[in-house]
Amino acid sequence: MEMAFIHTPLGVAKLIGDSNGLSEIKVTDAEETITTVIPQNLKIAAEQLQQYFAGTRNNFDFGLNPRGTDFQKRVWEALLLIPYGKTVSYMDLSKTLGDVKAIRAVAAANGKNPLWIVVPCHRVIGSDGSLTGYAGGLHRKKWLLDHENPVKQQSLF
């Protein structure tokens, strides 16, 4: 596995992957040295993430290779179907997967998503519209949703 650290508006993103695809993206506040030479297997992912943060990309098309259970992978695949700039509730996601009773398991799998931003777990909110848990912190979830919101609120003052 290869690793790279890139700067983002949310902190330093740690990318891990190999020729089979990206297996992990984590964003932290930790002080990490930014990688000056990105490994070949991570270059496209690093470039596309920078484009996303610059507002010039709203989808990703590089290989993914997350590690998880079959159920977790099903949830993560369903997350990929949530359009940019849209949100769904945990209940909606459970319905998409065919079992409304699995809402807690779906929420737990969502929380284990190793590919932040690319597999958009931040687009899942509470049924009442609240910003429920996010492994990276609610401030990052709010930032990501605001970043993806196609309607930017104008200030009146």
DSSP H stretches of helix in 2-154: 40-54, 70-79, 90-96, 103-111, 138-148
Q: Which of 25, 121, 124, 125 is catalytic?
A: 121
Angle in degrees, 0-180, between the axes of helices 103-111 and 70-79, rounded to the nearest 10: 80
Indicate if 121 belongs to the active site. Answer: yes
**CA angle (70 as vertex; 84, 105 as ends), nearest 5:** 70
Any idea which residues carry the catalytic annotation?
A: 121
